[in-house]
Amino acid sequence: MPIDLGDRSYDIRIAPGLLGQAQTWAGLPRASTALIVTNDVVAPLYLARLRAQLSGVYARVESLVLPDGEAQKSWDSLDRIIDHLLAATADRKTVLFALGGGVIGDLTGFAAAIYMRGVPFVQVPTTLLAQVDSSVGGKTAINHPRGKNMVGAFYQPVRVVADLDTLDTLPDRELSAGLAEVIKYGPIADAAFLDWIEQNLPALLARDKTALAYAVQRSCEIKAWVVGQDERESGLRAILNFGHTFGHAIETGMGYGNWLHGEAVGCGMVLASDLSARLGLVPTDFVDRMKRLVRAAGLPVVAPALGLDRYLELMQIDKKNEGGDIRFVVIEGLGQAGVRSAPTELVAEVLATHCDPVAGAPAP
């Protein structure tokens, strides 16, 4: 499937078995060196397979295995990649391969964006979340202790290779986290897809390959359609952040890695749906529908009790905000989203309704 961005266009390949097929890697930018960046969970599973393929394409295939976890979206890890490239005297044609989930993809993409002012990189997403969202569209970033993804660049990969077989080894909790980003595409862009997800949730949770293939394909189509119109998020692209304003506050407030990104987004979508209802944009039964679906996907629907002031403080640090106003992605009708600010009283009502009554409740 193409993602149409003029001279930055590229192909998203989605199928089982892609990793081990020579044709998957044909036609990539020519270079003498490739660097695969991955982590210590993914490396034992898939590094050898990718290495074997790339050895047929590049004279020198380097690899860098980082520790696992959201905490790796940091200056330190970025520095490790840059240092590895410099130590290997990697030139400006070197191709980087991000083999892993969204953490590896976001970090490696950012390293590719800045090494020698930009080298090509390939996304090889191995989580559902990365296959349906983070590997597509060119948002790269590291986190800051004060806010998610606060340092980064728009930088498109030259190809995305989503091998559905890699999802076989994904822990159940991570599969559910990925489903949050799949669910997101329904209410913001495609009401029929929301119906499809509800009907096919048992198949998705059972990792039925046909269901997963359709979910990844349709998610990438919607994302490609949005990004194709608004690559740098001057407007429309912000709808992809449905559930993320509350979600990022939960992730940052609870400490990176305690709530998974997808878990925070799942719960955040319930809160953002409720805010949409309180703004009079959708009926209240839509909130119940979202809550049922998010819960059925194995995701939390009760937010941590961080307190209104802390939520507001955390949500102040959001790239969508303008002039000090917190802006939320809201549902304006099934399959249609917009970005609005909301009165603090309504935000307080949402939090009072959906937060755990026990302050400091543990992560899911």
Active site residue 244: yes
Q: Which listed option, ligand NAD, ligand GLY, none, makes contact with residue 50 (CB within 5 to 8 Å by class)?
A: none
> Using the rule CB under 6 A, which residue among 63, 66, 70, 301 binds ligand NAD?
70
Contact between 209 and 164 under an 8 Å Cβ cutoff? The reply is: yes
Strand partners, 3: 10
- # of chain residues touching ligand GLY (CB under 6 A): 6
Q: Cα separation of 212 and 179, whole Å? A: 10
Q: Which is nearer to ligand NAD, 104 or 222 (CB)?
A: 104
State the catalytic residue, choosing from 148, 184, 218, 261. Answer: 261
245 binds, among ligand NAD, ligand GLY, none (CB under 5 to 8 A by kind): none
User: 3-state DSSP: the chain helix, strand, coil percent, rounded to 5?
Assistant: 50, 20, 30
Chosen residue from 33, 63, 126, 241 binding ligand GLY by CB under 6 A: 241
Distance CA 100, CA 128 (A): 10
In the bound complex, what is the minimum distance in angstroms from residue 153's beta carbon to ligand GLY? 13
Which is nearer to ligand GLY, 62 or 106 (by Cβ)?
106
318 contacts ligand NAD (rule: CB under 6 A): no
User: Which tokens go with 214?
Assistant: 């359709």
What mask, x for binding ligand NAD by CB under 6 A, covers residues 72 to 111? -x--------------------------xxxxx-x-----
Distance between CA atoms of residues 41 and 149, nearest Å = 23
Interface with ligand GLY, residue 243, by CB under 6 A: no
Q: Which residue reads 């986290």 in tokens?
A: 177
Of 237, 248, 291, 327, which lies in the binding site for ligand GLY, with binding defined by CB under 6 A? 237
240 lies in the binding site for ligand GLY (CB under 6 A): yes
β-bridge mates for residue 183, sequence order: none
What are the start-end ranges of the H helices in the chain? Answer: 48-55, 75-87, 102-114, 128-129, 172-189, 191-205, 209-229, 244-254, 261-278, 284-296, 308-316, 344-354
Between 116 and 145, how does the x/- string for binding to ligand GLY read (CB under 6 A)?
-----------------x---x-x------
| DSSP codes, 86-106 | HHTT--TT-EEEEEESHHHHH
Helices 172-189 and 261-278, packing angle to 10 deg: 30
Binding site for ligand NAD (CB under 6 A): 39, 41-42, 45, 68, 70, 73, 100-104, 106, 126-127, 129-130, 133-134, 137, 139, 148-149, 166, 169-170, 174, 177, 261-262
